């Protein structure tokens, strides 16, 4: 496990977090008003503290080993609307007001470019099969 970086996160909140072997938890980022899932980032305790106290999303870059504020260089900012901890304590849901693209590739979301073919399902309706093939454009 990596050594924990210093943090000003409230110790009571820090005690509730379940981190991976690198001291990180996943941050699922969602557009606050539409529910659109924008991206997934990684936070350690200090990145979460900065996000909670600054109103801007801060992440830990696993590749660069440094903190980064979304939009600081690109201008594609994320303004925090709410932050929720999941039931297991290992993921936060950050609802934001996204300005510009959320993905580093320039796409609106990190999930726009590579939609996988999948069998989809819906709740069964009076004995009818609810399975359908993915639309051709999604394959």
DSSP 70: T
Least confident range of 90-94, 105-109, 121-125: 121-125
Give this prediction's pTM: 0.84
CA–CA separation, 56 vs 86, rounded Å? 20
Each residue's pLDDT tens digit, 9-45 = 999 999 999 999 999 999 999 999 999 999 999 999 9
Each residue's pLDDT tens digit, 45-80 = 999 999 999 999 999 999 999 999 999 989 999 999
CA–CA separation, 4 vs 2, rounded Å? 6
Best CA proximity match to 29, nearest among 101, 124, 118: 101
Average pLDDT over residues 119-126: 85
Average pLDDT over residues 117-126: 86
């Amino acid at each position: 496990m990596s050594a924990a970086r210093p943090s000003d996160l409230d110790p009571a909140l820090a005690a509730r977090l379940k981190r991976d072997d690198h001291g990180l938890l996943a941050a699922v980022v969602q557009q606050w008003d539409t529910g659109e899932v924008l991206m997934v980032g990684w936070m350690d305790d200090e990145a979460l503290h900065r996000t909670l106290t600054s109103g801007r999303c801060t992440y830990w870059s696993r590749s660069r080993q440094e903190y980064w504020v979304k939009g600081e260089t690109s201008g594609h900012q994320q303004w925090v609307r709410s932050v929720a901890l999941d039931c297991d304590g290992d993921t936060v849901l950050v609802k934001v007001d996204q300005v510009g693209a959320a993905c580093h590739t320039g796409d609106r979301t990190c999930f726009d470019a590579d939609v996988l073919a999948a069998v989809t399902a819906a709740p069964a309706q009076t004995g009818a099969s609810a399975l359908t093939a993915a639309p051709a454009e999604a394959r």
